[in-house]
Amino acid sequence: MLYIFLTPDVSNMGGAQMYVENKSAFLRSRGWKTEVFFYSRAEKLILPILSESRDNIVPDMAFGYNYVPNFRRRKILKLIQNKCGNEKEIVIESQLVSLSFWGEAIAKVLGAKHITNFLEERFVPISKEEAKFLEFKLYNWQFMNAAEKRLKGVFRNYFKNDYLNFKNDVTYPCSNVLADSVQTSFSIETADYTISSVGRLDKYYVLPMFDEILLFAQKHTDKTINVIIVGGSPDGTVEQKIKELFKYIYNVRLYFMGYLFPVPKDLLTKCDVGIASANSVDVTASIGIPTISVDINDSYAIGIYGYTTQRRFTRSDEPQTPISQLLEDVLIKGVVNNLRASVPDKDSKKEFEKQLAFLDKSTTDSYYPVETTMPWLEKKVAQLKWALASLLS
């Protein structure tokens, strides 16, 4: 039994990487083999299972399936077939909309089952023909991450109420990020307040978040503030922007830790409050640190996780609240001091069991002709763009 992940990047330690690492470990404990194929250059591999896939880079998968000419597609499909084709039972999980077209083509060659599990936080508009393909996946119970909000985000104007009959919620537990004893040489100075930011720095909400930390610091110039930053951006540009932002803010000290795995628990226990979004919220909330959950779309705070909200990605009916206001509530007013957090239990084993069970829902042996999702002339223009991009790179 072989489970194949199609994902953009295996470097560093973002939410997607941790999800693939954890799910791979679970699948292996159930007797599956796993392979991960990706398209971004693997620069810093710090997760052990993902490190095994360092040679499985397929740069052309960064392009839409129909952007790549036939001779290159055949070569890619043959490469993957040679590596994986002898297994009798194969499942492919594609984690971006663009990768799902590749996933369908690869599945057809391998005789595999192809499941989509989109991890995007923002979706680009799709064409009518592309919507037909994704509808085919949904109607055949091969669209695993099918919460109502996600379905509406993917399909946009093509959304049909009938799709709600195929809803399926997925969670992404990251239960093994922290470690009790890690040899470190971190030296954090004493401060009145210590704030943590855990997660990739190239996310949409990050720079607005630091603007809000700046507002809080400027309001309390009599207080010293540490900001511990776990995570990074691909090329370091976000780090530079943050440094520039705080260049003349003398009551703030920034500690850029980069990507860490595992994250030393004693580093984060120094923090009075955390700010994060998506699965990164769990990292600090799981050790009792009041954590401000930020909406991935509008960069406003959703609430204090476990106290005023149970949401980590997007708000439901919670009001838009500036992050600086919640920093004021937690650090100055102490609004959570006499409250007990109610954080949902996240059992990764139970979630992955549920995802395995989902595979049994789909019994179709047919595959969608993904080459038909782009008109001939548009396809030729797209392939010229691919050729030009290939030459320039």
pLDDT at residue 43, as a whole number: 76
**What predicted TM-score, i.e. pTM, was given to this entire model?**
0.84
pLDDT at residue 180, as a whole number: 74
Q: How far apart are CA 321 and CA 301, in angstroms?
A: 5
Q: Quickly count helices (H) and strands (E) in the chain.
A: 13, 12
Cross-strand bridge partners of residue 8:
none
pLDDT at residue 181, as a whole number: 60
Q: How far apart are CA 345 and CA 172, in angstroms?
A: 12
Contact in structure between 279 and 291 (CB atoms under 8 Å) = no
pLDDT at residue 175, as a whole number: 57
* Bond from prior residue into 319 cis (ω within 30 degrees of 0): no
Buried residues in 14-23 as b, exposed as e (16+ CB within 10 A): bbbbbbbbbb
Place of tokens 């440094």: 243
pLDDT in tens, the chain (393 residues): 999 999 999 988 778 888 999 999 999 999 999 999 999 887 788 889 999 999 999 999 999 999 999 999 999 999 999 988 788 899 999 999 999 999 999 999 999 999 999 998 889 999 999 999 999 999 999 999 999 989 999 999 999 999 999 999 888 766 567 777 655 667 899 999 999 999 889 999 999 999 999 999 999 999 999 999 999 988 889 999 999 999 999 999 999 998 888 888 888 999 999 999 988 898 899 889 999 999 988 999 999 999 999 998 889 899 999 999 999 999 999 999 887 777 766 678 888 999 999 999 998 889 999 999 999 999 999 999 999 988 887
pLDDT at residue 110, as a whole number: 94
* Cα-based torsion angle of the residue sequence 52, 61, 155, 233 in order, rounded to the nearest 10 degrees: 60
Q: Which conformational region is residue 236 in: left (phi greater than 0), alpha (psi within -120 to 50 degrees), or beta?
A: left
Contact in structure between 280 and 198 (CB atoms under 8 Å) = yes
Q: How far apart are CA 58 and CA 79, in angstroms?
A: 10
**Which three-class secondary structure string do you get for 139-160?**
HCCCECCECHHHHHHHHHHHCC
Q: How far apart are CA 112 and CA 134, in angstroms?
A: 17
Full set of structural domains in the chain with CATH: 2-174+351-392 (3.40.50), 181-332 (3.40.50.2000)
How many other CB atoms are found less than 10 A from the CB of residue 89? 12
Helix residue spans in 220-313 (DSSP H): 237-245, 265-268, 280-285
pLDDT at residue 183, as a whole number: 59
Q: How far apart are CA 180 and CA 327, in angstroms?
A: 27
Q: How far apart are CA 2 and CA 90, in angstroms?
A: 5
pLDDT at residue 345, as a whole number: 63
- Strands, E assignment, the chain: 2-6, 33-37, 90-94, 113-116, 178-179, 193-198, 225-230, 252-258, 263-264, 273-276, 291-294, 301-304
Q: How far apart are CA 323 and CA 235, in angstroms?
A: 26
Cross-strand bridge partners of residue 256:
229
